[in-house]
């Protein structure tokens, strides 16, 4: 099998390019600390005790001190229960600079959990706990949307994060 000289150069160049891309994505994780979701435990939505023990019976935000927060959110057809509502929209209210760990669980079908402009993008699959940690540096209101089709009312399923400016 004959391989042309230029084709050989091309193969080397293409491999180097792909290698560089892969190095960049490893750097994004190791150097910049951006992570993909990792298993955070199982939950049985039909088992009330399990549901309660894992903190989903009372959704809401918990202050863990030192600027860290833990949020438990229930996703269900077709709304989020965040334990707080502002102007009819389920809300998570945090101060600027807060580091928030979201724990999301589904009561029924598969949902999505996406916070605009914040690298939070995770599937909410019944039976699994979805966990993502993010820092809110800029004050403002950021929409949370369900971005996985979950039935008739899917397009109405949204919530918001309100980041209040620190005084």
Partner 1 sequence: MQAAQTRDIPVLEFPKLTALKTERWLVGVHLIVAFSALSLGLLMGPFQAFRRAPALQWDIPIFSYYYQALTLHGVLNALVFTTFFIVGFSYFVTQRTLQRPLASIRVAWAAFVIMLVGLVLAAFAIVTGQANVLYTFYPPMVAHPTFYLGLTLVIVASWMAGGDIFFTYAAWKRDHKGETVPLAVYATLTNFIMWITATIGVAVEVLFLMLPLSLGLVQTTDPQVARIMFWFFGHPLVYFWLLPAYTAWYTMMPKQNGVRLFSDGLGRVAFLMIMLFSIPIGVHHLFTDPGVSEVAKLFHALLTFVVALPSLLTAFNIAATLEWAGRKRGATGLVGWVFKQQWGNPVMAGMITGMLIFIIGGLTGIMNASFTLNLALHNTTWVPGHFHTTLAGGVFLTYMGIFYWLMPFLSGRKLFAPRLATAQVYLWFIGMLTFGLAMGRAGIEGAPRRTDAGAAAYISEAAVPWLNLTAVAGVILLISSILLYIVILGTLFASKKQEKADAEPPIDTKAPADDPSPSIFENWRVWMVVIVISNLVMWGPVLIQALDFTKGFIIFGFHPNAPIPLK
Summarize as ranges the residues that interact with partner 1 (CB under 8 A).
1-4, 6-7, 10-11, 14-15, 18-19, 21-22, 24-26, 28-29, 34-40, 42, 44-47, 76-78, 107-110, 112, 114, 116-117, 119-131, 143, 145-152, 154-156, 158
- Spell out, one character per residue from 34 to 73, where the chain touches Cu ion: x when CB under 5 A holds, - when not: ----------------------------------------
Among candidate residues 51, 154, 81, the one with its CA nearest the CA of residue 112: 154
- Taking the complex as a whole, the smallest distance from the CB of residue 141 to partner 1 amounts, in Å, to 11
Residue whose CB is less far from partner 1, 20 or 167:
20
CB atoms within 10 A of CB 8: 10
3 binds, among Cu ion, partner 1, none (CB under 5 to 8 A by kind): partner 1
Among candidate residues 146, 165, 167, the one with its CA nearest the CA of residue 78: 146
Give the separation between CA 19 and CA 51, rounded to whole angstroms: 44
Give the separation between CA 108 and CA 85, rounded to whole angstroms: 21
Give the separation between CA 127 and CA 102, rounded to whole angstroms: 16
């Amino acid at each position: 099998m004959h391989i042309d000289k230029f084709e050989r150069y091309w193969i080397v160049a293409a491999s180097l390019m792909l290698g560089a891309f892969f190095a960049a994505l490893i750097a994004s994780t190791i150097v910049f600390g951006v992570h993909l979701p990792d298993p955070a435990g199982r939950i049985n939505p039909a088992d009330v005790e399990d549901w309660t023990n894992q903190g989903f019976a009372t959704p809401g935000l918990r202050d863990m001190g030192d600027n860290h927060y833990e949020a438990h959110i229930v996703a269900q057809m077709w709304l989020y229960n965040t334990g707080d509502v502002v102007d009819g929209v389920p809300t998570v209210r945090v101060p600027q600079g807060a580091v928030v760990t979201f724990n999301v669980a589904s009561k029924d079908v598969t949902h999505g959990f996406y916070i605009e402009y914040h690298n939070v993008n995770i599937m909410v699959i019944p039976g699994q706990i979805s966990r993502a940690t993010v820092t809110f540096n800029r004050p403002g209101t950021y929409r949370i949307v369900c971005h996985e089709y979950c039935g008739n009312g899917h397009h109405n399923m949204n919530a918001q994060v309100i980041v209040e400016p620190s005084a």
